[in-house]
Structure 1
């Protein structure tokens, strides 16, 4: 049976999400205090300022794709540190504590070389926030690759975030929900396509870019 003709015994069910934000009451006016607070805030706050950036900016492909890089560049006017934090890919890490450790290392190393502590020139503090995710079932299922491709092409962007970012970092499914289903025996049992899809979340793309890339991979498989 060709891949395009396979039918899953267990359908993929698309679930979107929305983010509830909680301000922690912790602020930094300079990079030293930023470093100290990064070390002590809950992991959910590190997640918010890195991964959740993609949910808040699903269409943007910005120069500095996390809140830390944005603040040190725009407000502390420390472009060198902003560039170092800006190339950090949160999807390269298997958990939040690994990511936190890398951010701490980058800022600590930078400050040790400077000999002074850059602070917010505009008197604009970095305000720490944490996020809580609420899921929303979209009542949308797919049993075939074509069904999956068509649903993915039009589903709301919150579902892309939920099945790629949330699945990997908060639910421990490191390849993401899409790849898990594509590879599973009760799914479509397509390990080659699943492996390609699993890599998409690590390409530094915004959510729309992730959607488009996976759709193209599906189209290629369907045309073969």
Structure 2
């Protein structure tokens, strides 16, 4: 079994939230705030949604869709926002533009602007990620498999979501390590293709484990 040129270090994370002085009571205000909030807030309410809702698959996909459905009760807008895959955009500004366009197009077809109750205002936030090293380092694919099986789910988020979307590592840390340190390019490509949108972190973990198990069986044969 190949020994990695560099060991894999599992990194877990916690999210430190920061409330912004930006709020929306109706859909027009939501559109206006989307245009001027920091990019970090767009990230928090889209990509970051998967860290906060990790125990189960969510029906909404981002905080904006959830607000439209639950607080404004505008299912048409909620459905349009829910299918926006944040991982499909090259950067946060492109994602912001798509969200603004969806809300703007939706409003053009309405005679009245849907509004939430005062208690249901949308409150924009952003967050900072604090990281911590978890467990023993992995020097082989088998050790990686053992570590991945038991590591905190926040590590799945950090290596598969945060790394891709905000840290400039588009392949994700798992695939990059397998390619660069173990020379397992085919396995790396399969892991790169895992879709992290509209699923749970535990399902992503299971998908990676399944691919790693297949590779281990192939090498053992």
Pick aligned residue for 1:104 from 94, 100, 112: 100
Partner SS state of residue 114, structure 1: coil
| 1:204 counterpart = 2:191 | no
Deviations 1:159-215 (A, max 9, x none): 11111111011111011111111111xx11111110110111445321111101000
Match of 1:156 in 2: 152
Give the gaps of 5 or more residues in structure 2. none
Report if the CA contact (8 A) 2:58-2:199 is conserved: no
Report if the CA contact (8 A) 1:92-1:202 is conserved: no
Partner SS state of residue 106, structure 2: helix
Task: Give TM-score, length-normalised by structure 2.
Answer: 0.95
Divergent runs of 4+, >3 A: 201-204
Mapped to 2, the partners of 1:44 and 1:140 lie a distance apart of 32
Mapped to 2, the partners of 1:205 and 1:175 lie a distance apart of 18
Mapped to 1, the partners of 2:197 and 2:72 lie a distance apart of 28
Mapped to 2, the partners of 1:205 and 1:7 lie a distance apart of 32
Mapped to 1, the partners of 2:195 and 2:159 lie a distance apart of 10
Match of 1:58 in 2: 54
Partner SS state of residue 146, structure 1: helix
| 1:90 counterpart = 2:86 | yes
| 1:24 counterpart = 2:41 | no
Match of 1:11 in 2: 7
Match of 1:174 in 2: 170
Report if the CA contact (8 A) 1:31-1:118 is conserved: yes
Mapped to 1, the partners of 2:197 and 2:28 lie a distance apart of 31
Deviations 1:102-149 (A, max 9, x none): 111111111111232111046410000001111111242111111111
Deviations 1:58-82 (A, max 9, x none): 1221211210000011111100110
Report if the CA contact (8 A) 2:135-2:147 is conserved: no
Task: Give TM-score, length-normalised by structure 1.
Answer: 0.94
Pick aligned residue for 1:215 from 192, 204, 209: 209
Pick aligned residue for 2:183 from 181, 189, 202: 189
RMSD: 1.2
